[in-house]
Amino acid sequence: MLSRLGTSGSAVLLISALACVPAGDEKRPAGAGEKPDPFAASSTPLPAGYKGPKYAVSHDYPTEAPPAPNDPPWRKALNGAPIGPDTAVAYMSALKEYVTKDIKTLVLDYANWDAGKARWYNMPWLYSIQDPVHGTYPAGEFPSSMFPLSGLKTPGDATMNTYVVVYYNDTAGYTLGQIWGKDAAAPDLTKAQYREGAIVVKVCLSSATRATWGPMDGAALWDVYGVPPNAPSGAKPAFFQGSVFQVDLIVKDSKTAPQTGWVFGTLVYDKSVPGDAWDKLIPLGAMWGNDPDVNSAANPNAILKQSVVNPVAPLYAVETLGYGGRLSGPNDGAVVQNAIVDGAAAPRVAASSCLSCHSTAEWQMQSFLLPSPSAPQKNRSPSPDVTSDGFLYVYKPGTVEFNRWFQNRLGNVPKDPGSVALDFHMNLAFKALPLWAKATQPSTRAERSERSDPALLLKTGLPPRMHR
């Protein structure tokens, strides 16, 4: 089924991401019978003789919370005005400026990048999906039809594949330490709420380069060591390169974003901007709410009040904006190709946004990332709502069901009753917790449902099996 899905657009992003979660043998750095090391970098060994830089999980998390920023530069950039069309790009530019010293080194000068020294941190438990050079893991597969206006070339059924790595600043790293403790054996989800000033950065690579996608001309190129994109099954790891084309930057700032607590923004590569490959990463926009009051299906021209898109953003990056023009980036899969909406095939539906998708971050996850009847972890099935032809059922935009994905909530209120809200934190909800559960917990259905009862997790902070 997955290979058939390979040609069907953004459904692939979600299903292939889920596919790493359910049963199946996974490689671990530890030998059989040994305890896995949650902080291992990668289960893929580099070839003998490799001399270049390597990824290591930065996990010496701060044990004292850094003080909340008083008047941080991103808020100063608003000049006392609320965030909006006139100020959102300046806000994102100030946030970019703030992380530049460190993240520019990560992006352009990896040999000199020392995450621990710079006080940036990573998530445990991702070794089975991470590459050993940069710690990136596969995030999406997009056919050329996803970017019809900007000339992405993927021959035949091939896809442009994307890879990501996530870094947390010291304030966010403090929360990671609170969740995972020293040994990352038993997450405490009562501690999963971030403090003011938490910043999370996600660097996204595209397997497309100048030759296959013009907009990538001049982008920073990263080495990845893993199974190359579109390789036949069973293919061996090899080195390949990816273009750094999107850098997500999110910040906990409840003053600017009182309804959600977060400003979500992203930078995209624009080859027409002067400077180096870091200077050329410009804000695509920002959002701080889902505009629940705007029914964009009924009023397609209604103006959004909680999403701003940079009017000079490059064309390829605005081809995949979210529902009603809400913010989403080219790596994010907000556009579903081959959807079934209201019983009929729909070729291209803008069905998500940054905050819409991230608002499903809870444990256990009961809702699919996109507005769809699928229920990922509850059924432990990659997606019961994808047909064998690779179509994804999507609720009709603007309906009551669909709009449940476009509410504004704070990060401590779960989307679905009975789950624990994880403050919009997808890397935790969708990647680390499922991989932790898979590595540490027995797998009969009864035991799984007992252990994953969120009420128990909340009460004890530990799943019953580990609570001695």
Q: Residue 155 is which amino acid?
A: P
Cα-flanking dihedrals φ and ψ of residue 437, to 5°? -60, -40
- For ligand HEC, which is the closer residue by CB, 11 or 227? 11
From the list 93, 328, 337, 366, which residue makes contact with ligand HEC (rule: CB under 6 A)? 328
- For ligand HEC, which is the closer residue by CB, 35 or 431? 431
Bond from prior residue into 337 cis (ω within 30 degrees of 0):
no
From the list 92, 99, 268, 334, which residue makes contact with ligand HEC (rule: CB under 6 A)? 334
From the list 92, 431, 436, 457, which residue makes contact with ligand HEC (rule: CB under 6 A)? 431
Per CB under 6 A, does 434 bind ligand HEC? no
Please, what is the minimum distance in Å from the beta carbon of residue 87 to ligand HEC?
18
From the list 21, 126, 200, 339, which residue makes contact with ligand HEC (rule: CB under 6 A)? 200
Per CB under 6 A, does 264 bind ligand HEC? yes
346's tokens: 């729909």
- For ligand HEC, which is the closer residue by CB, 100 or 460? 100
Per CB under 6 A, does 327 bind ligand HEC? yes
Binding residues for ligand HEC, total number by CB under 6 A: 29
From the list 130, 427, 440, 452, which residue makes contact with ligand HEC (rule: CB under 6 A)? 427
Residue 290 contacts residue 407 (beta carbons within 8 Å) = yes
Pairing of the two strands 335-341 and 392-393: parallel
Stretch 9-38 residues interacting with ligand HEC (CB under 6 A):
17
From the list 352, 366, 367, 408, which residue makes contact with ligand HEC (rule: CB under 6 A)? 352
Write each residue from 268 to 307 as x if it is in contact with ligand HEC (CB under 6 A), else as -, in one continuous string. ----------------------------------------
Closest CA to 200 of 236, 172, 237, 232: 172
* Bridge partner residues of 340 (DSSP): 345, 393
Closest CA to 262 of 270, 253, 274: 253
* Rounded-to-integer distance, Cα 161 and Cα 157, Å: 12
* Rounded-to-integer distance, Cα 222 and Cα 243, Å: 6
- For ligand HEC, which is the closer residue by CB, 428 or 457? 428
Query: What does the radius of gyration of the chain's CA atoms come to, in whole angstroms?
Result: 21
From the list 357, 365, 433, 457, which residue makes contact with ligand HEC (rule: CB under 6 A)? 357
Burial class (CB in 10 A: 0-12, 13-18, 19+), 466: middle
Largest CA distance in the chain: 60
What residues line the site for ligand HEC (CB under 6 A)?
A: 17, 139, 164, 166, 200, 202, 248, 250, 264-266, 327-329, 332-334, 352, 354, 357-358, 369-370, 424-427, 430-431
